[in-house]
């Protein structure tokens, strides 16, 4: 990765510098040529302009008898050579015949092959000054027609553009030097840059490979606040999230396995009992009638237990797959507490329990599934009855706290050992399996109760207490669940 990114960086830098130099070079050289051409024509225009009347008058003075007009013009031009910028090397003047364009002499000998008739000379032959030059031509010239003593002449100034060419040449080699230097610097810089960019990327890649191998322990250090830093931070967050998700998945998988094992175990016990009692009944034809009816009673009991377990499992499964809708209605909370109390009184009396009911005069209405809420109450009160030795005390209290109502059931029974307190809401969890089974418990009651409360956006939890026994509390929001597969009635 390092290599390819580095090569890309070098390429980008080289392209950048080359294109910059080409643009700047072309622009500079073009400007210099343009400036030089403009300056040339400006100089000629100034020389023949109003500021130099002497020069123009001298050029056009009437030629005296016997004098060579062209030589006189040449003499004047020689005297004013500096005004025209004539250096006799790169720039020269010539005097041409105004009618034929033939060269009559100049500041230098006529070039080999003659001057030729340039567009400017043709213009001057027609009587108007020629001042045009193309940027691409390798020379520039100006041809000004004058008359001296009735005789037409053309003052022709020719510049070979050698000055601008050599200027452009040195500028070109300067640009090439700058280009080479720029390239060297850019290669060095790209090494540095690629180091700062590639190193964190390389670390990130290593981290990703480790995560791909399933190792989430490594946390990458965020060394900068730039995009790579943000990417590293996002990667760390993603790895943490992934780790949590996988842990949750593993936990769920373990719970599922435990659940299947528990269900099989719970169903196997009553089934084994039913089978052995049924076999005894089938084999022993001469069993006494009271024994026969006792066996039948056991078979019936065990079948009821199985039906009970299956009923609870079905309820949980409907909750899990959210197929079970809550039937929401408005009803007075105190009323349900009282109804439940009345329903369990008989059972409590059978166990010689003293049941105290502490219900405030008025409690608000709640929006909930009345039957389900009553199911929760029945479950926790009948647990208190079951897990308190006969002759115990059970206190049921209720009240309002803010936007919720609550009900608490407190007993002085066997309680729950400290280590089991967190687990009693788990499916099939029972502190004392024999006692639970004996009293017809499935170990699913509290899981169902907690699920019902959760779906009402309420809570069901154990309250800490110092005395022996157990206190369990349910809380229910008055407004009822907000987002719930529920239908109002
Ligand atoms: P079960 O059908 O066995 O009663 P629950 O889910 O209702 O199942 O309760 C789970 C376990 O919690 C019970 O087996 C019991 O060990 C414990 N438990 C529940 N309520 C009480 C209580 N009031 N006192 C002591 N233990 C309790």
Q: What is the pLDDT of residues 230-266, one digit of tens each?
A: 888 898 898 889 889 999 999 999 988 988 888 898 8
pTM of the model: 0.58
- The answer, yes or no, to whether residue 215 has pLDDT greater than 80, is yes
Q: What is the pLDDT of residues 27-74, one digit of tens each?
A: 998 898 889 889 999 988 888 887 777 787 787 776 666 667 888 888
Report whether residue 445 contacts ligand 1, using a CB cutoff of 6 Å: yes
60 backbone dihedrals φ, ψ, rounded to 5° = -105, 10
More reliable by pLDDT, 69 or 387:
387
Contact 262/428 with Cβ under 8 angstroms? yes
Q: Which is the closest atom of ligand 1 to the Cα of 424?
A: 12
Report whether residue 413 contacts ligand 1, using a CB cutoff of 6 Å: yes
Ligand 1 centroid–CA 313 distance in Å is 17
Report whether residue 436 contacts ligand 1, using a CB cutoff of 6 Å: yes
- The answer, yes or no, to whether residue 93 has pLDDT greater than 70, is yes
Ligand 1 centroid–CA 351 distance in Å is 17
Can you give the pLDDT at residue 488?
A: 61
Question: Exposure of 119 by Cβ count < 10 A (0-12 exposed, 13-18 middle, 19+ buried)?
Answer: middle
Q: What is the mean pLDDT of residues 14-32?
A: 90
- The answer, yes or no, to whether residue 393 has pLDDT greater than 70, is yes
Average the pLDDT over each of 191-195, 253-257, 387-391 and give the range with the smallest value. Answer: 191-195
More reliable by pLDDT, 5 or 161:
161
Report whether residue 379 contacts ligand 1, using a CB cutoff of 6 Å: yes
Report whether residue 392 contacts ligand 1, using a CB cutoff of 6 Å: no
Residue from 383, 425, 473 to probe ligand 1 pocket by mutation (most atoms less than 8 Å from CB): 383
Ligand 1 centroid–CA 148 distance in Å is 135
Report whether residue 194 contacts ligand 1, using a CB cutoff of 6 Å: no
More reliable by pLDDT, 226 or 141:
141
Query: Residue 394's beta-bridge partner residues?
Result: 355, 411
User: Whose alpha carbon is nearest atom 19 of ligand 1?
Assistant: 383
Confidence band, pLDDT 50/70/90 cuts, at residue 333: very high
- How many CB atoms are located within 10 Å of the residue 118 CB? 21
Can you give the pLDDT at residue 64?
A: 62
Report whether residue 432 contacts ligand 1, using a CB cutoff of 6 Å: yes
Strands 470-477 and 404-411 come out as antiparallel
Average the pLDDT over each of 298-307, 337-346, 422-431 and give the range with the smallest value. Answer: 422-431
What percent of the chain has a predicted confidence (pLDDT) above 70?
A: 96
Q: Which of 144, 129, 7 is nearest to 73 (CA)?
A: 144
Confidence band, pLDDT 50/70/90 cuts, at residue 378: very high
Q: What is the mean pLDDT of residues 122-129?
A: 90
Report whether residue 424 contacts ligand 1, using a CB cutoff of 6 Å: yes
Ligand 1 centroid–CA 101 distance in Å is 128
Can you give the pLDDT at residue 439?
A: 67
Q: What is the pLDDT of residues 146-188, one digit of tens each?
A: 888 778 889 999 998 888 889 989 999 999 999 999 889 888 8
Place of tokens 């022996």: 468
User: Whose alpha carbon is nearest atom 20 of ligand 1?
Assistant: 383
Q: Which is the closest atom of ligand 1 to the Cα of 413?
A: 24
C-alpha span between 377 and 396 (Å, rounded): 10
Confidence band, pLDDT 50/70/90 cuts, at residue 344: very high
User: Whose alpha carbon is nearest atom 3 of ligand 1?
Assistant: 443
Q: Which is the closest atom of ligand 1 to the Cα of 380?
A: 20
User: Whose alpha carbon is nearest atom 11 of ligand 1?
Assistant: 430
C-alpha span between 297 and 247 (Å, rounded): 47
User: Whose alpha carbon is nearest atom 12 of ligand 1?
Assistant: 424
Can you give the pLDDT at residue 210?
A: 86
Per-position b or e across 372-383, b if 16+ CB within 10 A of its CB: bbbbbbbbbbbb
DSSP symbols for 252-295: HHHHHHHHHHHHHHHHHHHHHHHHHHHHHHHH-TT--HHHHHHH
- How many CB atoms are located within 10 Å of the residue 489 CB? 9
Q: Which is the closest atom of ligand 1 to the Cα of 446?
A: 6
Ligand 1 centroid–CA 465 distance in Å is 17
Can you give the pLDDT at residue 456?
A: 94
Report whether residue 431 contacts ligand 1, using a CB cutoff of 6 Å: yes
Strands 393-401 and 354-358 come out as parallel
Confidence band, pLDDT 50/70/90 cuts, at residue 23: very high
Mean pLDDT of the chain: 88
Rg of the Cα trace of the chain? 55
Report whether residue 378 contacts ligand 1, using a CB cutoff of 6 Å: no
SS3 category, 103: strand
Q: Which is the closest atom of ligand 1 to the Cα of 388?
A: 24
Can you give the pLDDT at residue 195?
A: 81
Q: What is the mean pLDDT of residues 384-394?
A: 95
More reliable by pLDDT, 183 or 321:
183
Residue from 385, 446, 461, 463 to probe ligand 1 pocket by mutation (most atoms less than 8 Å from CB): 446
Q: What is the mean pLDDT of residues 136-149?
A: 87
Q: Which is the closest atom of ligand 1 to the Cα of 469?
A: 24
What percent of the chain has a predicted confidence (pLDDT) above 90?
A: 42
- The answer, yes or no, to whether residue 80 has pLDDT greater than 90, is no
- Tokens coding 444: 């699913």
Q: Which of 89, 141, 137, 152 is nearest to 118 (CA)?
A: 141
Can you give the pLDDT at residue 286?
A: 79
Highest mean pLDDT among 7-11, 247-251, 394-398: 394-398
Can you give the pLDDT at residue 59?
A: 79
Our separate counts of H helices and E strands in the chain read: 12, 12
C-alpha span between 96 and 153 (Å, rounded): 6
Report whether residue 446 contacts ligand 1, using a CB cutoff of 6 Å: yes
Report whether residue 442 contacts ligand 1, using a CB cutoff of 6 Å: yes
């Amino acid at each position: 990765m390092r290599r390819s990114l580095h090569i890309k960086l070098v390429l980008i830098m080289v392209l950048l510098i080359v294109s910059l130099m080409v643009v700047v070079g072309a622009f500079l050289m073009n400007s210099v040529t343009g400036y030089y051409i403009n300056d040339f024509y400006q100089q000629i225009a100034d020389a023949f302009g109003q500021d130099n009347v002497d020069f123009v008058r001298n050029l056009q003075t009437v030629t005296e008898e016997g004098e060579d007009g062209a030589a006189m013009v040449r003499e004047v031009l020689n005297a004013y050579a500096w005004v025209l910028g004539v250096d006799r090397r790169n720039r020269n003047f010539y005097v041409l015949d105004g009618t034929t364009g033939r060269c009559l002499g100049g500041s230098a000998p006529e070039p080999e092959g003659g001057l030729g008739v340039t567009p400017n000379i043709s213009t001057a032959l027609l009587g108007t000054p020629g001042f045009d030059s193309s940027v691409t031509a390798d020379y520039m010239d100006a041809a000004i027609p004058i008359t001296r003593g009735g005789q037409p002449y053309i003052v022709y100034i020719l510049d070979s553009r050698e000055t601008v060419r050599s200027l452009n040449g040195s500028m070109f080699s300067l640009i090439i030097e700058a280009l080479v230097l720029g390239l060297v610097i850019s290669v060095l810089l790209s090494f540095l840059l690629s180091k700062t960019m590639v190193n964190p990327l390389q670390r990130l890649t290593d981290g990703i490979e480790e995560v791909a191998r399933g190792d989430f322990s490594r946390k990458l250090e965020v060394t900068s606040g730039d995009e790579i830093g943000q990417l590293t931070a996002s990667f760390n967050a993603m790895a943490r999230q992934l780790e949590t998700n996988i842990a949750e998945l593993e936990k769920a998988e373990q719970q599922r396995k435990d659940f299947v094992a528990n269900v099989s175990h719970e169903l196997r016990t009553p089934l084994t009992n039913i089978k052995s009692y049924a076999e005894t009944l089938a084999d022993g034809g001469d069993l006494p009638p009271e024994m026969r009816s006792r066996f039948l009673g056991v078979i019936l009991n065990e079948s009821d237990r199985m039906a009970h377990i299956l009923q609870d499992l079905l309820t949980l499964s409907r909750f899990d797959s959210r197929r079970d809708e809550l039937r929401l209605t408005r009803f007075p909370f105190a009323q349900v507490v009282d109804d439940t109390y009345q329903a369990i009184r008989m059972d409590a009396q059978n166990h010689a329990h003293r049941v105290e009911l502490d219900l405030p005069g008025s409690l608000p209405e709640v929006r909930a599934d009345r039957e389900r809420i009553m199911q929760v109450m029945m479950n926790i009160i009948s647990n208190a009855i079951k897990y308190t030795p006969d002759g115990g005390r059970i206190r049921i209290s209720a009240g309002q706290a803010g936007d919720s109502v609550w009900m608490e059931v407190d007993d002085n029974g066997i309680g729950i050992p400290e280590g089991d307190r967190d687990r009693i809401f788990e499916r099939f969890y029972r502190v004392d399996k024999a006692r639970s089974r004996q009293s017809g418990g499935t170990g699913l009651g509290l899981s169902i109760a907690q699920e019902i409360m959760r779906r009402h956006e309420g809570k069901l939890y154990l309250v800490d207490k110092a005395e022996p026994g157990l206190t369990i509390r349910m809380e229910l929001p008055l407004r009822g669940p907000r987002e719930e597969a529920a239908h109002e009635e």
